Amino acid sequence: MISRLVLGLCFLASVAAGQNADSQPRGDSSQSPGPVASPATSTAAKVTYSSVHVDGLYIAMTFDDGPHQTLTPKLLDLLAQKKIKVTFFVLGENVERHPEILKRAVAEGHEIGNHTWSHPNLAKLSQEKVRSELQRTDDLIRQTIGFRPKIMRPPYGSLTSKQREWVHEEFGYNVILWEVDPLDWKEPGPAVVARRIISQTKPGSIILSHDIHAQTIDAMPEVFDALLAKGFKFVTVSELLALAKPATQPSPVPSATATPARP
């Protein structure tokens, strides 16, 4: 079947590219990574978020590409210990492998978002294939935890404006990108991951990271302690959106274009 072939190619591509790096630049694509992607048209209801204007020190920490067999449970233990709620953007193929971890995350108060089935670059797929990637994952999440996700994050932050509107209309999803990107998928070491997150996080930030890298999980004790010490309050993405206050001007989002291209 063509879809199996596509899934296989996407898998190989993501492995070759360094394990599903959402912030990885796509040199052959006009689609920019999340933070520099333009929002949905101004006439439409707001669909896409990289950060939220809030009154208060609210932030949303997000973990993509899991669940991972050992790292996600390790993270959940830490989150329970610190009483922190986060959001997991999961891959359908990993939910299929570890449904019990997804159930545990929800039981412990975390939010689940749709991150597609197999991590393709959606901007390069037909509408039918995009629908299949999202629907299959949506169905499995619902079967596993009993309800549908309200949010999605496109792999690599790659989704055209037209696709965003269509995804919002068809699935009701808000499209969640990010403001803080520690480039943890490059595995620069836990201290660097921690320093980047701690120094870049502001009120209303949505922070990107990945629960499939041991270094990311190893960075989290320091990240959580430092951000809690600064007074930040961790909420899920949907909670952060619900806390949004009107801003006079949308705040500019830092560019991630300085990221060096991979070979």
The site for Zn ion (CB under 5 A) is made up of 20, 22, 64-65, 155
Nearer to Zn ion, 13 or 57 (CB): 13
Q: What is the CA radius of gyration of the chain?
A: 17
Smallest separation (angstroms) from Zn ion to the CB of 162: 21
Rounded least distance, CB 185 to Zn ion, Å: 8
Nearest Cα to Cα of residue 102 among 132, 131, 76: 76
Whichever of 165 and 184 has its CB closer to Zn ion, that residue is 184
Would you say 152 or 198 has its CB closer to Zn ion?
152
Which residue in 180, 231, 232 sits closest to 206, CA to CA? 180
Q: Is 178 or 234 the residue whose CB approaches Zn ion more closely?
A: 178
The nearest distance, CB 78 to Zn ion, in angstroms, is 21
Point out the residues that are catalytic: 64, 210
> Is there a contact between 58 and 235 (Cβ–Cβ < 8 Å)?
yes
Strand partners, 233: 58
Give, in order, the Cα–Cα distances in Å from 212 to each of 63, 190, 203, 218.
Answer: 9, 13, 26, 11
CB 95 within 8 A of CB 116: no
Tell how many helices (H) and how many strands (E) occur in the chain: 9, 8
CB of 209 to Zn ion, least distance (A): 10
Cis peptide, bond prior to residue 35, ω within 30 of zero: no
